[in-house]
Chains A and B, each alone.
Chain A
Amino acid sequence: MKVIRFLLEKEFRQIFRNKSILAMILVLPTMQLIILPLAANYEVRNINLAVVDHDHSDWSAQLILKVTASGYFKLSAYEDNFAQSLTLIEQDKADLILEIPAGFEKNLVKEGNQKVMLSINAINGVKAGLGGAYLGTILRSFNEEIILRVANPQQLGVGGRAELTWSNWFNPTLNYNYFMVPGILAILVTMVGSFLTALNIVKEKEVGTIEQINVTPIKKHHFILGKLLPFMVLGNVVFTVGLLVSYFIYGIVPLGSLWVMYGFIQLYLPAVLGFGLLVSTFCETQQQAMFIMYFFMMVFILMGGLFTPIESMPDWARMVARFNPVSYLIQVMRMVVLKGSSWADIQYQAGIILLFGIVLNAMAILNYRKTN
């Protein structure tokens, strides 16, 4: 026990002396939490729209006004022929072309029915999909106005229509920050925990100090505990800083209890620290460790359900996500922050993370040898 105390003393002394580590645990989460949620916004704005108006009528002007007034579109060109607009798409000056045919107003009023054409540049899939969908919605509501104003009053109310209404539960205003911030915080805790552990141990290998340690009577589990405990503390610090940032910047107050969150983090940190430890046993230099960690972090982030829901991934990807500890933390964070889930609700995730912790650390300890 005394040995662990000395090891901890030494470790903390080194950590507080290393300015980059301090910056990493304090500045990095703050900066990332402030900047990333703003950037990781699904809303697409400023879609460049080219309008080809063959009609030049009152109605077509109203349609264009309605589209541009939505705020999603920026009218980048107003042309008379389609070929000209197509060159704009080729030059990347327009994302969407809305073609209004000649006789638009006439047909609308006379026949109560007219077609417009949308041409979408699908190079940026998200922009194309959302832009098309937005424009579709706007056109639909335009339709409804027309029906009200133009259609035969007798036709109104005939042929009953099912009206769709909805409400968003747990995040009524669909505020992106509410579910992005807890997710990003989960990634940060994972990154700081696993990177610091892996790099710290590999650094001892690189400098050669691990040789000096190995010829001392320090036991394997003492050494490993002496490494894990400080980073456990740092992980909690990062988590706390992150929660404070999300409260003060985004006003996010977790619905659920902080105890549940901190309790889960205490199960989660040993798992990611164990992962860092395991990586460190395979690497001889910090460069190797960086690359390996980076590879896994990419997978963890992209397949963890932060940006895209795991449920919509293909089967194989869902299998991968099940072995991704980050996905469980993201789930739990969102559940507790948005839904106010309690211990009973996150038992499943807690059990799995506990298992992760045991397996990863056991593998690391088995793989770490004092002699080779």
Chain B
Amino acid sequence: MKAVEVNALRKVYGKEKTLAVDEVSFEVNEGEIFGLIGPDGAGKTSIFRMLTTLLLPDGGNAKVCGLDVVKEYKKIRTMVGYMPGKFSLYPDLTVEENLHFFATVFGTSVQENYHLIEAIYVQLAPFKDRRAGKLSGGMKQKLALCCALIHQPKVLFLDEPTTGVDPVSRKEFWEMLKKLKQEGISILVSTPYMDEAAMCDRIGLIQGGKLLSVDLPSQLIQKFPHNVFAVKADNMYQLIQSLQANALVKDVYAFGEYAHLIPNNSALTTSDLLHEMDKLNLQNSSASPTQATIEDCFIQLLH
């Protein structure tokens, strides 16, 4: 049985009939971390809300743990954990009280499933008497994850869990997700960060409500049909501006301290490129072939 099955799911908002989710279909296997990667407004949250039975789909259907999200929503609610993008625990209750409350409404206790949250909760323990609203961003996320986990869900829905969290906490967070996966929990996670995509077992790239592709992160990179060059010069702005106008170049965009360049012709070599760049009279210009990343895949899919 698949943890999540989504079939031609559609969601339309408002009188203008804005298509937020457009015929999206994918599956999440049991014990898998599936990442939905896409920019803001791509429709990720709408998909999450439909799968967690908070929003009714306008078309298609979806199953969670083999249960229909419309007809059997009551059963689904006992089996899934949902962590919304926005912190939504009681800010006026303490860490411990929040956790205790969510355990009890699921008819369980903190002790019973403590093993699931132990790794996270030990970091929270020093603040257990602090009001949830007074925690730092990273601590809030950890508490939210604890609360979503406390009833031992079969499927975990994490909507942008690391947005607004520092890099160290983000890394820790993903370590925890891997541990949860080992416990047999299937995880559907969304993120706007491309570096996190590589940590998922499979990823779906989503844009404008449409699912563009679903693949293993490594496969996605392997299937990338273009060469990628990393180019650099003292004046990056001028470099990108002039290369964009060049007929040999398909696309060029800033990528960290470098700019990534996709040539129009895959036969283009590094020396051809360097030769071309010399004409621009830029200081300290350099070019070298580089490995495509998920971000490159995503940018090319969008173009």
Chain A: residues with CB nearer than 8 A to chain B?
2-3, 6-7, 10, 13-14, 17-18, 207-209, 211-218, 370-372
Contact = CB atoms under 8 A, between A and B. Distances in A.
A215 B93 contact: no
Nearest to B90: A209
Contacts, number: 70
A207 B102 CA distance: 16
A7 B90 CA distance: 13
Contacts of A214: 53-54
Given A208-B86, A215-B54, A372-B55, A14 B93 contact: yes
B56 A371 contact: yes
A371 B105 contact: no
Contacts of A209: 88-90
Most buried by B among A14, A213, A371: A371
Nearest to A223: B105
Q: Is the interface of B mostly helix, strand, loop or mixed?
A: loop
A211 B54 contact: yes
B74 A215 contact: no
A3 B105 contact: yes
Q: Which of A18, A209, A218 has the most CB of B within 10 A?
A: A209
6 A-B pairs closest in CB distance: A208-B88, A6-B104, A215-B82, A217-B78, A216-B105, A217-B77
Interface string B65-99: 00000000110011010101011111111000100
A2 B105 CA distance: 9
B147 interface: yes
Interface residues of B, number: 28
The SS class assigned to the A binding surface is: helix
A10 B88 contact: no
Given A10-B97, A218-B105, A371-B53, 17 more contacts: A14-B90, A18-B92, A208-B88, A209-B88, A211-B54, A211-B88, A212-B84, A212-B89, A212-B102, A212-B147, A214-B54, A216-B77, A217-B74, A217-B78, A370-B53, A371-B56, A372-B54
A104 to B, nearest CB: 74
A208 B102 contact: no
B206 to A, nearest CB: 21
B90 A208 contact: no
A2 B103 CA distance: 13
Among B82, B102, B104, B106, the most chain A Cβ lie within 10 Å of the Cβ of B104
B101 A10 contact: yes
A18 B87 CA distance: 20
A6 to B, nearest CB: 4
B93 A6 contact: no
A13 B93 contact: yes
A6 B90 CA distance: 14
A2 B108 CA distance: 11
A14 B92 contact: yes
Contacts of A207: 88, 90-91
Given A6-B104, A6-B105, A215-B80, A371 B55 contact: yes
A209 B86 CA distance: 10
A215 B159 CA distance: 14
A31 B159 CA distance: 47
Given A211-B84, A371-B53, A371-B55, A10 B77 contact: no
A13 B84 contact: no
A212 B73 contact: no
A7 to B, nearest CB: 8
B56 A372 contact: yes
A215 B52 contact: yes
Nearest to B74: A217
A216 B88 CA distance: 13
A218 B102 CA distance: 10
Contacts of A211: 54, 82, 84, 88
A213 B54 CA distance: 10
Contacts of B86: 208
Given A215-B54, A371-B53, A371-B73, A13 B88 contact: no
